[in-house]
A and B are shown apart, each in its own frame.
Chain A
Amino acid sequence: MSSILVFAFLQVLPGDPARVALGINASEEAVAQLRTNFGLDRPLSTRYVEWMAGLARGDLGVSYLSQLPIRPLIVDRLGVTAWLVGAGMLVACIVALPLGVLAAVRHGRLSGIALAALSQVGVAVPAFLAGILLITVFAVRLHWFPAGGWSPPSSDPLAFARALVLPALSLGLVQGAVLTRYVRASVLDVLREDYLRTARAKGLLPLPALMRHGLRNASIPVVTVLALQLTTLLIGAVVVERVFVIPGLGSLLLDAVGSRDLLVVQNVVMVLVLAVLVVNALVEVCYLLIDPRMRIRVRRS
């Protein structure tokens, strides 16, 4: 279904891939020849069926622009983006979970209000701006980390880690701010529940009571938001990859759209669609792990 949408949208995009590939001095004959080489002169339906048949076989075809196979390219770039998004998510969780809980427990007090306000500021800052600020301070001024670039983890783990820090922070801090607000809200909800009052009545201190009885309940909405954010992070990575010059899926997608390398665009978008499906499937699994009541419901149905 999504493949039809992706395919159709790209066909209505203005700009002929052959003409873009040949530049501004191209002759008509050369463009026509290249259209034939690309297979663009064949009917849409044929091209769609071919693409889908290739997808089923795991053959993503050959890039218009580079004339090289697409699959190794995407697999490699996907790995880069996966590291980036994973690290960003980790930063977001490390920031959001303690701060969100703290903001909820301290709500009404000055520190709680300050934390809530701070997270609001974080929400308003786009990831690319955070990236530029981080580069200016930690790379250009302090020289602690490189201003950009990428190093494969297998070849030089230290360089890899150093290159990952700033992009992961710029993705993660912003998402962390968003997440903090959800953690705070859901912990606040839980704090008002009767069972927590009962736990306090048994003599448990506020924090242990929350840890023991509240966290599991508070985590369900947070996991849902996490999944949504993971997909947002994939999109955010497009911009952050450009700012930090990281050869990931996002920069591949941007370049391919610009040069109208439609086959690459189609396949990258399908990979992103697949990634979203995977994330959603994982979230379902997480629900079952967190909340035993759902397991029973699943068994009954």
Chain B
Amino acid sequence: MGSATTRPVALAVVALALAGCSAGSTAGSSPTGGAEPGEETLAVGMVAEPANLDFSTTDGAAIPQALLTNVYEGLVKVDASGSIVPGLAKSWTVSPDRRTYTFELVDNAKFVDGSPFTAEDAVFSIERVKNDWTTSLAGAMGVVASAQATSPTELTVTLARPSNDWLFRMTTRIGAMFSRTGVDSLATETVGTGPYTLDTWRRGDSLKLKRNPNYWGKAPYFDAVTLRYYKDPTALNNALLTGSIDVVSTVQAPESLAQFTQDDRFAVIEGTTNGEVVLSFNHAKAPFNDLLVRQAARAAIDNENLMATCWAGRGQLIGSMVPPTDPWYEDLTGVAPYDPAKAKTLLSKAGTPNPAVRLRLPTLPYATSCGQVVKNDLEKAGFRVTLDQLEFPAAWITQVLRGGDYDASIIAHVEARDLPTLYGNPKYYLHYNNTKVQEAIAAADVGDEATQVAKMKEAARLISEDAASDWLFLLPNLMVADKDITGLPKNSLSESFDLTGLARS
């Protein structure tokens, strides 16, 4: 071994010496933000860092969180109340058969490289989703039959069948508009029409955005915004306490909020998200293939107490798979109220007073803390619960999501309007197969707006009455910021962390 290792050893020493001086130059930056004099800058603390900058080939929430709306814009977007509003499209009309959408585009938008944004770019972007995107979200574009530039500022999209969901999906990352000449190295460079553009990306540390000089709309208040990434929740909180950042975008441990509420330098912002924390039941096997057992489980769980115990009382009780910002929200918490006596009765009626349940949890903060409470509540009603933890994402995905080797699990489904994903597809890991629900979902997708709302309400009520899952609570959107920061989005409803409205008063 002796002589064989000499060369690599020598090489390693040289490499170390060379790396030493610039150590972290692609992955480090001044802890204080390094603002140029006379520039208004902002530093935002985030949790998950993008793996690269290309959300057309790489999944995960981190890339659109940083880049959508801020760097890449869509034709339409979601506002703070959950409605679809204009983006790069000034307006749009839907044909009577609900299959043809005609968008009138803004005429003064430019990409950061100076080239104008036209309907041709929109066609290019839509076709690229269909043909070149490799992430599974791109499937939502499959319903598009054709996209045509009927004039430089008019785009006509024809769908294979009517789909309300398609227009909503256009507010997400798949609706992002790319330049026909700017998609060669999306993993490290960005070419968008948004108010910001990429300045520097220090992997493992931060992503710095600067103003796009060619932005067509109102210039944002801050000249530059640095997104800093902190895996550790305490490190994120400390960064705000010591002034390294101005905003904590997501408080990961609600019990840590006390240190900010007592400090008059900071303001706590609380709103809602699309993240339903679901106690999922495996409908493919006993015991939860039995309606009575599922109803017993829902009656056994004291959701109010659970949220107080495991998420410091922050969040909202929902009672079905619909957050309050969706147009078809109604309060369904009354469908299955906490009633431990009824839970016991239901179990004996089902003929299984002590069903065995394997509750398999992902290693996520809310799941591990809520899992104990769920276990206690279920056991009081007579369930025999064995609890184990699976490393998230890898082990949980393999065993629960893919393998279906579980009776119950707890996970937050954070995608917007994801009721159809969970309860409309019997192949999904819940194996929930209810034709009435599937029909309601299908009718909602093809109908006009009133029909959509009515049918989605019906689906939400059906799954709640059928105890398809127990919806433990809705994750809150918790942010903390310096007191003088204004314009933070109260509710987190889109895939992006919208920086455009932020300012310092």
Q: Identify the A interface with B (CB < 8 A).
A: 13-16, 19-27, 30, 33-34, 37, 63, 65-68, 72-73, 75-80, 82-83, 132, 135, 139-140, 143, 146-156, 159, 162-163, 242-248, 251-252, 254-255, 258-260, 271, 274-275, 277-278, 281
- Chain A residue with Cβ nearest B5: A277
Interface residues of B in 1-33 (CB under 8 A from A): 5, 8-9, 12-13, 15-16, 18-32
B-chain residues with CB within 8 Å of residue A77 when the two chains form the complex: 24, 27, 204
**With contact pairs A23-B59, A140-B241 given, residues A247 and B27 touching in the complex (Cβ less than 8 Å):** yes
| Contact with A247, one of B203, B393, B397 (Cβ below 8 angstroms) | B203
A277 touches B31 (CB 8 A): no
Determine whether the beta carbon of A151 is less than 8 Å from that of B29: yes
- Interchain CB contact under 8 A, B204 and A251: yes
A162 CA / B122 CA spacing, docked (Å): 48
User: Contact between A147 and B9 (Cβ–Cβ < 8 Å)?
Assistant: no
Contact B8 A82 (CB under 8 A): no
A154 lies within 8 A of B21 (CB) = yes
Give the distance to chain B from A263, nearest Cβ to Cβ, in Å.
13
Contact pick for A30, options B21, B30, B134, CB 8 Å = B134
**How close is A78's CB to chain B, nearest CB, in angstroms?**
5
B137 in the interface (beta carbon within 8 A): yes
Number of interface residues of B (CB under 8 A): 67
A198 to chain B, nearest CB (A): 40
Closest CB in chain A relative to B173 CB, distance in Å: 13
From A24, A83, A147, contact of B244 by CB (8 A): A147
**Given the complex of chains A and B, what is the CA–CA distance between A212 and B398 in angstroms?**
64
- Chain B residue nearest in CB terms to A128: B232
**Is B351 located at the chain interface by the 8 A CB criterion?**
no
Beyond A151-B28, A159-B31, whether A82 also contacts B23 by CB under 8 A is yes
B422 nearest CB neighbor, chain A only: A25
B482 within 8 A of A: no
Chain A residues with CB under 8 A of B395: 14-15
Contacts of B25 in A (CB 8 A): 76, 152, 154-155
Is the C-beta of B277 less than 8 angstroms from some C-beta in chain A? no
**In the complex, what residue of chain A is closest to B187 when comparing beta carbons?**
A67
- Least Cβ–Cβ distance between A64 and chain B, in angstroms: 9
B24 touches A79 (CB 8 A): yes
CB of B134 within 8 A of CB of A34, answer yes
The distance in angstroms between the C-alpha atoms of A278 and B13, with both chains bound, is 8
Residues of A within 8 A of B31 (CB): 146, 148-151, 159, 162-163
Using CB atoms, name the residue of chain B closest to A156: B30
How far is A156 from B395 in the complex, measured between Cα atoms in Å?
42
State whether A76 touches B401 (Cβ < 8 A).
no
A37, A68, A147, A275: the one contacting B188 at CB < 8 Å is A68
A-B complex: 6 closest residue pairs judged by Cβ atoms:
A15-B394, A79-B23, A247-B204, A79-B19, A149-B31, A150-B28
Nearest-neighbor residue (CB-CB) of A64 within chain B: B51
B175 to chain A, nearest CB (A): 17
Scan residues 462-480 of chain B and give those whose CB is less than 8 A from a CB of chain A.
none
* B365 at the binding interface (Cβ < 8 Å): no
A67/B12 contact (C-beta < 8 A), A80-B23, A148-B235, A150-B24 known: no
Given contacts A149-B31, A151-B29, A156-B30, contact A75 B59 (CB under 8 A): no
Residues of A within 8 A of B188 (CB): 68
Query: From A152, which residue of chain B is reached at the shortest CB distance?
Result: B25
Q: Tell whether, in the assembled complex, residue A65 and residue B58 are in contact, meaning their CB atoms are under 8 Å apart.
A: yes
Q: Is the CB of B20 within 8 A of A79?
A: yes
- With an 8 A cutoff between CB atoms, is B436 at the interface? no
Q: Does B415 contact A (CB under 8 A)?
A: yes
Q: Say yes or no: is B242 at the interface (Cβ < 8 Å to chain A).
A: yes
Q: Contacts A23-B136, A146-B244 known; A242 to B231 CB distance under 8 Å? A: yes
Contact residues in A for B30 (Cβ distance below 8 Å): 149, 151, 155-156, 159
**With known contacts A67-B54, A79-B23, A148-B31, A25–B415 Cβ distance under 8 A:** yes
Which residue in chain B gives the minimum CB-CB distance to A275? B12
The answer to whether B27 touches A76 (Cβ under 8 A) is: yes
Kindly state whether residue B52 has any CB partner on chain A within 8 Å: yes
- A274 with B9: in contact, given A139-B238, A151-B30 (CB under 8 Å)? yes
| A23 touching B393, Cβ below 8 Å | yes
Encoded as 1 (CB less than 8 Å from any A CB) or 0, chain B from 379 to 404 comes to 00000000000010111011101100
- For A76, the closest partner residue in chain B by CB is B26
Residues of B contacting A259 in the complex (Cβ-Cβ under 8 angstroms) = 51, 393-394
Residues of A near B398 (CB, < 8 A) are 14-16, 19
Q: Which of B232-255 contact A (CB under 8 A)?
A: 232, 234-235, 238-239, 241-244
Which residues of the other chain, B, contact A66 by a CB distance below 8 angstroms?
Answer: 51-52, 58, 187, 203
B397 pairs with A20, CB closer than 8 A? yes
Q: Which residues of B contact A151 (CB under 8 A)?
A: 24, 28-31
Residue B52 contacts which of A67, A162, A277 (CB distance < 8 angstroms)?
A67
Contact: B9 with A243, CB < 8 Å?
no
How distant is A191 from chain B, measured CB to nearest CB, in Å? 37
The one of B23, B204, B238 that contacts A140, using a Cβ cutoff of 8 Å: B238
Smallest CB separation, A248 vs chain B (Å): 8
Given contacts A25-B421, A83-B20, contact A147 B242 (CB under 8 A): yes
B384-435 contacts to A, CB under 8 A, are 391, 393-395, 397-399, 401-402, 411, 413, 415, 421
- In the complex, what distance in Å separates the CA atom of A70 from the CA atom of B196? 28
* A83-B20, A143-B242, A153-B21 known; A68-B136 Cβ under 8 A: no
Residues of A within 8 A of B205 (CB): 149-150, 245, 247
Given A79-B16, A80-B27, answer yes or no on A156-B34 (Cβ-Cβ < 8 Å).
yes
- Contact yes or no, A80 B58, CB < 8 A: no
Pairs across A and B, CB under 8 Å, 22 listed: A14-B398, A16-B398, A21-B58, A24-B401, A26-B59, A27-B136, A66-B187, A67-B58, A80-B28, A140-B242, A146-B31, A146-B244, A147-B244, A150-B24, A150-B27, A151-B29, A159-B34, A242-B231, A245-B232, A247-B24, A278-B9, A281-B5
